[in-house]
Structure 1
Amino acid sequence: MTTYPPARQDFTRAAPVRLWEDGFALDPYRYYDDLRAQGPVGWAELAPGVPAYVVTDRRAALELLHDTETFSHDPRPWESTVADDSPVLGMMRWRPNSLFADGAAHARYRTTLIDTFDLVEPHDLRARVHRAVHLLVSRIGPKGEADLVGEFARPLMALVFNSLFGLPDSQSERLNQALGKMMEGGAQAAAGEAEFGGYVLELIAAKAERRGDDLPSRLLDHPAGLTPEEVTWQVFLTLGAGHEPTANLVSNALSRILGNPVYYSTLTSGARPVMDAVVEVLHHETPLANYGVHYARRPTTFHGTWIRAVVPVVVSYGALAYVAEQEVVEGRHPKDASHLSWSAGPHACPVKQHTLLIATEAIERLTQWLPDLAPVLPRERLAWRPGPFHRSLTALPVRFSLRSPDQPGDPS
């Protein structure tokens, strides 16, 4: 039985659980156990010298995500307490977009995103995914082996999102590199943030000069009247949030599928839908493990813990998923069949259906093209990228039968 600390526990003098360590990527579940041993809210570091409260209890997470009176998404008071070269600033720095806004400003930004993405028809998005998969399989098929992270999941997202945002395929690797550095929150995080920021600034400058049939152009022309700066930061958010977590969702799902041959055979035979595998990852190995960052508007007690203002309060979707998986392993049904990978409350993901379509179509199309994918390594030997925010494979090496780009029997 878990022993919780006394009411109004103040952790600020205790040793934090260090989510920035290499060991966290290797075995996050040990760290989640340490956090949960402190109670519904644990004490951690996101980077050296950057403390945070981490919510590991589902009921507490839901309360936090819905409580806009006590908690804010605006990080500017916190930013003034953090060194300019902090590796987590790229993911947590204030920008005028829906993620870091509250109230009317948040509603205005969120509405523009929903309206803009609603114009992306499912059949069009599906066609973009199929085109990207075809291109990538044409590259790897003749080799008979591939890394499904570096040669499929990540470049696939760059291809799909660049096409939606009006950029050519040739820019895909630049996008991959910049976002990878920023998400890991390490020594190269600032460089990644700068590179990605430059990428987006160039894009918006081009669309402001000449519109196209793409998401930035629709944001620039939205009736809400966003300024070019506001559009820049909306795109910074959506392009980053679309690419990285979706790539991780695809690679995490593929690793779980390929690690279970019986499961894989039911998918390739059509007996089980790919959506099952994707939802399983969202339940048990969510790609954005620790985020949903809030800040108390004033010092407060929250689920027995004294929360100081301007210290980040992070929702650990990874810890919540871990608890649910443990219940399944132990033969018990989770207390709640739903998951919180899309967050909840006013800041819940506004485009989850688009994300699910991209992920499921990518996996389904890949396994149609290459139906005999076989992992090179057992799942327990796979390496994971460092960083406090994500659950992301470094590589997923596989082998398969050689396939030429012009081979008959292509999926239609």
Structure 2
Amino acid sequence: MTIHPPDRRDFARSVPVRLWDESFAADPLRHYQALRNQGPVGWGELAPGVPAYVVTDRRAALDVLHDEETFSHDPRAWEATVPDDSPVLGMMRWRPNALFADGAAHVRYRTTLIDVFDLVEPHDLRGRVHRAVRLLVGRIGPRGEADLVGDFAEPLMALVFNDLFGLPESQGDRLHSGVGKMMEGGDRATVGEAEYAQYVLDLIAAKTERRGDDLPSRLLDHPAGLTREEVTWQVFLTLGAGYGPTANLLSNTLSRILGNPLYYSTLTDGARPVMDAVVEVLHHETPLANYGIYYVRRPVAFHGVWLREAVPVVVSYGALGILAEREATERRHPNDASHLSWGAGAHACPVKQHTLLLVTEAIERLTQWLPDLDPVVPRDRLTWRPGPFHRSLTALPVRFSPRSPASEPSGVRS
């Protein structure tokens, strides 16, 4: 880790940059630039009265992500400093799972997740996506118009993840309601956390009584011997982190494709540059913009700033991606991974390939069924949900030629 003690600063009396209000959702770049103007580490606010160190420099971010001796994921010292009704507690409070663990405990939890997801074969995941797309196109096709957030991206991910976790289609609304409220981090966050927790508790109770061919059952039977409580919080993490951010990645990518004639024309002509659009989204509108959260184990000077204990250190993937694009040189390939949206180090995303397959298959299949999607609202007039952690569209309205659910498009594989 790089230490810079001579010019270290303490932000305790500075005015933080708000990452939780409507103005941040409307113009994150302005807020990220204000943070970057303070140096590699800026002073932000995740909710009223909840300050955080925000890392906007790539080198500093990598120092955080790779230094397990200085930085911890355990938030319990911080938790003791915030009110019980803080709107960000739902996303930040400690739970016995891979996200909030360090060292051997983290390795144990992470290994179980990798093991159970490795049992999900790519062809199986494709099949689940294809069935979900067919079902949703059957609902929206005859109408000739849809909101690709509320009518496609969110219900599709609810269908796929409920299927993977052994729940029926009818439970999708519960998943969407709880996770959505919790991620926005506003007045409804506490209610959303309770709703989602009950959703997961009901799921684990059902799987404890009767196993199935699903991820919770495999976690319950994993040789690591996770307790029922540990399985509950592993599922709380993976189902929530899978559903919300993946739905946002899907809708953000669709908005970028539909808003760029070059993307969409080549997509419908068969070139399918979906992955290029995904990479662009990970630079500009990454779904989990500010959710790389760490805490120093002891006060330390870090890149010119004095970091105090019990204050979150947030690696801003949103700022890193946008600012990296603005500061790009001719030597950098446009499709590199300087966005760091998948994380790095011990806590890097363990299911990156599953996520990419989900999103790319969903877009390719949708545009085969509905090849003339036409956005109703110009891209620069789309609106975004507030919240410090995510980058999430409120809606993506489109029109298209009405299609009968019974009419199979040419080139679609079952």
TM-score, normalised via structure 1 length: 0.97
1:337 counterpart residue number: 336
* Distance in 1 between residues matched to 2:27 and 2:408, nearest whole Å: 44
Matches within 5 A, 1:294-309: 294-309=294-309
Q: In the TM superposition, what whole-angstrom CA distance separates every residue of 1:189-227 from its partner, at most 9, and x where no partner exists?
A: 000000000000000000000000000000000000000
Letter of the 1:201 counterpart: L
Is the 2:253–2:278 Cα contact (8 Å) retained in structure 1? yes
Q: Contact (CA 8 Å) 1:293, 1:314: kept in 2 or not?
A: yes
Cα distance, 1:278 vs structure 2:
1.3
Aligned residue type for 1:337: D
> CA shift at 1:283, angstroms?
2.6
Measured on the aligned residues, the alpha-carbon RMSD in Å equals: 1.6
Q: CA shift at 1:315, angstroms?
A: 0.5
Q: Distance in 2 between matches of 1:322 and 1:331?
A: 16
CA-CA distance at 1:271 after TM superposition: 2.1
**What amino acid does structure 2 have at the position aligned with 1:111?**
T
Letter of the structure 1 residue corresponding to residue 204 of structure 2: I
In the alignment, what sits opposite 1:74?
A: 74
Query: What does the per-residue CA deviation read over 1:331-370, in whole Å, with 9 as the maximum and x for residues that have no partner?
Result: 7747993231110000000111000000000111111100
How far apart in 2 are the matches of 1:400 and 1:327?
Answer: 38
Identity of aligned residues (%): 77
**In 1, distance between residues paired with 2:261 and 2:29?**
25
**Structure 1 partner of 2:83:** 83
Q: Is the 8 A contact 1:324 1:334 kept in 2?
A: no
2:367 equivalent to 1:367:
yes
Amino acid at match of 1:324: A
Measure how far apart 1:268 and its partner are: 1.3
Distance in 1, matches of 2:258 and 2:409, equals 23
Identify the residue that residue 37 of structure 2 maps to in structure 1. Answer: 37
Change beyond 3 A, Cα 1:178–1:105: same
Point out the more displaced range, 334-343 or 32-41: 334-343
Moved more, 66-75 or 269-278: 269-278
Q: Per the alignment, in what secondary structure is the counterpart of residue 290 of structure 1?
A: coil
- Conservation of the 8 A alpha-carbon contact between 2:35 and 2:42: yes
1:129-208 to structure 2, matched below 5 A, reads 129-208=129-208
Give the Å deviation of 1:408.
4.1
What do residues 118-150 of structure 1 show as CA deviations (whole Å, max 9, x unaligned)?
000100000000011111111000000000000
Aligned residues: 408
Give the Cα–Cα distance (whole angstroms) in 2 for the partners of residues 167 and 147 of structure 1: 25
Please state how far the C-alpha of 1:259 moved relative to its aligned partner. Answer: 0.5
Q: Which runs of 5+ in 1 are unaligned?
A: none
What letter matches 1:140 in structure 2?
I
Residue 256 of structure 2 corresponds to residue 288 of structure 1: no
Q: Summarize the Cα distance change of 1:69–1:142 in structure 2 as closer, same or farther, 3 Å threshold.
A: same
Q: Which amino acid aligns with 2:128?
A: R
For 1:395, the equivalent position in structure 2 comes to 395
* SS of residue in 1 equivalent to 2:53: strand
The 8 Å contact of residues 369 and 408 in structure 2, kept in 1 or not, is answered as no
1:56 paired to 2:37: no
The TM-score, its normalising length taken from structure 2, stands at: 0.96
Question: Which letter does structure 2 place at the counterpart of 1:253?
Answer: T
SS in 1 for 2:183: helix
Structure 2 unmatched ranges of 5 or more: none
Report the alpha carbon displacement of residue 409 of structure 1 after superposing the two structures with TM. 3.0
- Alpha-carbon distance in 1 for matches of 2:186, 2:6: 35
Q: Which residue is equivalent to 1:101?
A: 101
2:157 counterpart letter in structure 1: M
Corresponding position of 1:46: 46
CA deviations 1:62-102 (Å, max 9, x no partner) are 11000000010000010000000000000000000000000
Work out whether residues 153 and 250 of structure 2, in 8 Å CA contact, stay in contact via their aligned partners in 1.
Answer: yes
For 1:375, give the aligned amino acid. P
Give SS of 2:7's match.
coil
> Contact 1:5–1:38 at 8 Å: present in 2 too?
no
Name the SS of the counterpart of 1:406 in structure 2.
coil
Tell whether the 8 Å contact from 1:300 to 1:307 is kept in structure 2 after alignment. yes
Q: Alignment partner of 1:363: what SS?
A: helix
Tell whether the 8 Å contact from 1:144 to 1:399 is kept in structure 2 after alignment.
Answer: yes
Q: Which residue of 2 aligns with 1:381?
A: 381
Q: For 1:87, what is the secondary structure of its paired residue?
A: coil
Does structure 2 conserve the Cα–Cα contact (< 8 Å) formed by 1:284 and 1:324? no
Asked if the contact 2:272/2:364 (under 8 Å) is kept, the reply is no
- Equivalent residue number for residue 128 of structure 2: 128
Kept after mapping to 2: 8 A contact 1:133/1:365: yes
The answer to whether the 8 Å contact 2:66/2:344 transfers is yes
* 2:231 is equivalent to residue 231 of structure 1: yes
- Measured in 1, the distance between the counterparts of 2:406 and 2:131 equals 15
Conserved? CA contact 2:288–2:390, under 8 Å: yes
* Match of residue 241 from structure 1: 241
Match of 1:259 in 2: 259
